[in-house]
Structure 1
Amino acid sequence: MRTRPLLAAATAALAAATCLTTTGAGPAQAHASTRACSPSVRIDGFSDGLDKTTFQGSLVGNLSALAVDGDGTVAAVSDRSQLFSFDVRRQGGRAPSATPVRAVGLADEKGGPLDSEGLVVDRDGTRLVTSETEPSVRRYDRDGRLLGRLPVPEALRVAPAGRAAPNQTFEGLTLQPGGRTLIASMEQALAGDGQDTAGRPLVRLQTWQRHGRQEFAAGPQYAYPAEKGLGVAEITAAGDGRLLVLERGFTAGFGNTVRLYLADPRGASDVSAVTNLPGGPHVRPVRKTLLADVGACPSLGATARQPQPNPLLDNIEGLAVTERNGGFLRLLLVSDDNQNPAQVTRLYALTVRLPRP
């Protein structure tokens, strides 16, 4: 999604989001209300145009993360060791459309495949990519050449090396404004970690602090309360120190649950030295606020190939902020089709009005 559209068009669209719950105030407000997912979130459109397509011999699917690149294109990582670039635009200012413009392969130090799940485009164009196999965070250049690897605390490694369950590790990755703090989110809790006072499992967020141009050292950890039955699928910086957190779950015969939260790690306790969460009454977990249940969005004519509480839903895993305008954000989301004919690669465009800190 080009990040510098005409200001007038962007301002008009974002202004309409202020009227998500307004009724009887005119055509623009009524239109916004019909697309409201919650008082804070509106769905602008969706597209299935990438579903089951190929580009330069690579399947365009299994997409797990999105990040806006410096040239205005959108980078996307597949959990099948592919890194794509898309030219993403909004059709009629609403539904997103994406055209692949680049694809490169990724590999580990031995040339093996990655289960790549999180993605950040650093300020110099370097790609930071998580793999939930070990887990790991590796650095690649634009051509997919491996540049290095960040240190990971032992407890976060998959058992028996650590306390994490297989395929439940670094699912999300984001870089805070200023580029000094990198954050990865575990998908599920570590063995031995417990719940908060509301019975929600506590999932760890791991940070790294930048020293110099490229060096990252492991920093504080925070405890994030995920909802029962859901895992942390993605995190991205909101731009003011807070985080957008995508929680997702799946129940056979029912379908997906996808919720968008606003989380604030500021004021949370560093739990890197806490062996078992919650760690006592003095430990403060991350505070979070529900922005929207995506299942409450209007379906906009979407269809589903398997049972879903809302046919708009699928296995949504990727999330990126494509525009910021004051307290409003435009988001691009993508679903991972798992290379499954019963699932779909779908792009979603949302507008979010952030509550005041």
Structure 2
Amino acid sequence: MTGMRLRTVLATLTAGLAAATCLAAAGPADAHDSGDAHACSPAVSIDRFSDALDKTDHDGTFVGNFSALAVDRDGSLAALSDRSSLFSLDARTLRPEAAVHLADEKGGDLDSEGLAVDRDGTRLVSSETEPSVRRYSRDGRILDRLPAPPALLVAPAGRAAANQTFEGLTLLPGGRTLLASMEYAIAGDSAGIVRFQTWQRHHGHFRLAAQYAYRTDAGLGVPEVQATPDGRLLVLERGFTAGVGNTVRLYLADPRHATDTSGIENLTGQGGVRPVRKTLLADVAACPSLGATARQPQPNPLLDNIEGMTVTGRDRAGRLRVLLVSDDNGNTAQTTRFYCLRVRV
């Protein structure tokens, strides 16, 4: 057996174990804590990671550039590439089963960043090009396009910078509210204050609703946001420093008492605006490396450009099962890596 083939077999086995831990229903393994050896913080532990899909392809489509994850209604995993591809992955092995190409109304590619699977199985996908949120059928047909606030459009149409717009997308419990997170601040707002935009469902269509301010740590942006079962949010904050590597932090955020900022032109951090309250759950650099290797400098070799996140369920201890994925940008110095976490909120 060649080294490459052996690596593929071992990686596939690793993927199966990782997916089973993260995505399967609660079983006997949940009866015990993962232990201090797997702790990232008092609130977060890591079970496993998997590099099985790194630099692979499916029917000629490159498997990578992952920007978002979601659990589909049939229990499979939907994985969104920012190169206009939406993959269906087997929930236990992570093996790609299908790939659908997404496009805008003119047939052009998207910079697809956020993903939510609606209760009818349709896909809500954000693109940071305009930015936009569109609804797609399972086979990739555009069904609808949601309105976007003028200020959040990319300049010169609005005040946002290119490639710094709708990165995260999530449906809140009950499915009536959709929330998108901007990655960075828009012009006129203070650096580090990003806007979370919501839509409310009315007669089957989403209409613009409240907007909230979220303050990031210095130098970090928001690549992903996911609703928890109680209506709070898991928020990823991420940054990159050449020669040092990535910073990735996981926060628990509560927008329920935050000020609606949709009518406020400039967010400067002054009084009168209650931002989304956040609590640090873990700095991923503090997780055990579990034998991971990195192809470029990293504070922890486990780290990479983590960009996608979804909540897949709970274990018997009540902890959330959270699956993360990194975006390798099609770069040989980066890795497509899945991370299986347990999060106590």
TM, length-normalised to structure 1: 0.88
Instruction: Show the counterpart of 1:116.
Output: 112
Q: Does 1:5 align with 2:24?
A: yes
Instruction: Show the counterpart of 2:43.
Output: 40
Instruction: Show the counterpart of 2:10.
Output: none
Please, which of 255, 270, 278 is the counterpart of residue 268 of structure 2?
Answer: 278
| Contact kept? 2:177, 2:200, Cα under 8 Å | yes
User: Unpaired segments of 5 or more residues in structure 1?
Assistant: 18-31, 90-96, 196-200
Q: Does 1:218 align with 2:208?
A: yes
Instruction: Show the counterpart of 1:74.
Output: 77
Q: Distance in 2 between matches of 1:60 and 1:8?
A: 30
Please, which of 181, 185, 195 is the counterpart of residue 204 of structure 1?
Answer: 195
The code of the aligned residue for 2:201 comes to R
Please, which of 320, 341, 347 is the counterpart of residue 338 of structure 2?
Answer: 347
Q: Distance in 2 between matches of 1:290 and 1:6?
A: 27
Please, which of 248, 269, 286 is the counterpart of residue 258 of structure 1?
Answer: 248
Q: Distance in 2 between matches of 1:5 and 1:86?
A: 14
Instruction: Show the counterpart of 1:103.
Output: 99
Give 1:194 shift.
1.5
Instruction: Show the counterpart of 1:330.
Output: 321
Give 1:6 shift.
4.8
Give 1:223 shift.
0.1
Q: Distance in 1 between matches of 2:218 and 2:96?
A: 37
Please, which of 236, 256, 278 is the counterpart of residue 246 of structure 1?
Answer: 236
Please, which of 314, 318, 331 is the counterpart of residue 308 of structure 2?
Answer: 318
| Contact kept? 2:181, 2:222, Cα under 8 Å | yes
- Counterparts of 1:20-35 in structure 2 under 5 Å? 32-35=35-38
Give 1:324 shift.
2.4
Q: Distance in 1 between matches of 2:54 and 2:232?
A: 32
Q: Distance in 2 between matches of 1:144 and 1:275?
A: 36
Instruction: Show the counterpart of 1:28.
Output: none
The code of the aligned residue for 1:345 comes to T
Q: Distance in 2 between matches of 1:192 and 1:305?
A: 38
Instruction: Show the counterpart of 1:185.
Output: 181
Residue 155 of structure 1 aligns to a residue whose secondary structure is helix
* TM-aligned CA distance change 1:6 to 1:149, over 3 Å: closer
Q: Distance in 2 between matches of 1:10 and 1:235?
A: 28
- Count of aligned pairs between the two proteins: 325
| Contact kept? 2:235, 2:253, Cα under 8 Å | yes
The code of the aligned residue for 2:111 comes to D
Give 1:16 shift.
1.0
The code of the aligned residue for 1:156 comes to L
Instruction: Show the counterpart of 1:232.
Output: 222
Q: Distance in 1 between matches of 2:240 and 2:43?
A: 24
The code of the aligned residue for 2:279 comes to T
Q: Does 1:57 align with 2:53?
A: no
Q: Does 1:289 align with 2:296?
A: no
The code of the aligned residue for 2:327 comes to D
Give 1:4 shift.
7.4
Q: Distance in 1 between matches of 2:259 and 2:160?
A: 21
Residue 37 of structure 1 aligns to a residue whose secondary structure is coil
Identity of counterpart residues, as a percentage?
Answer: 69
Give 1:134 shift.
0.3
The code of the aligned residue for 2:28 comes to A
The code of the aligned residue for 1:103 comes to A
The code of the aligned residue for 1:80 comes to R
The Cα offsets for residues 23-65 of structure 1, whole Å up to 9 and x where unpaired, read as xxxxxxxxx1101000000010101000000001100010000
Instruction: Show the counterpart of 2:13.
Output: none
Give 1:77 shift.
0.7
Superposed CA RMSD in Å reads 1.4
Residue 151 of structure 2 aligns to a residue whose secondary structure is helix
Could you tell which deviates more after superposition, 264-273 or 325-334? 325-334
Q: Does 1:268 align with 2:285?
A: no
* TM-aligned CA distance change 1:82 to 1:102, over 3 Å: same
* TM-aligned CA distance change 1:327 to 1:276, over 3 Å: farther
Q: Distance in 1 between matches of 2:137 and 2:319?
A: 32
* TM-aligned CA distance change 1:10 to 1:184, over 3 Å: farther
The Cα offsets for residues 138-190 of structure 1, whole Å up to 9 and x where unpaired, read as 01000011111000000000011000010000000000000000000000001
The code of the aligned residue for 2:190 comes to G
Instruction: Name segments (4+ residues, structure 1) moved above 4 Å.
Output: 1-4
Q: Distance in 1 between matches of 2:24 and 2:105?
A: 39
Give 1:327 shift.
4.0
Give 1:88 shift.
2.7
| Contact kept? 2:26, 2:314, Cα under 8 Å | no
Give 1:278 shift.
3.5
Q: Does 1:125 align with 2:117?
A: no
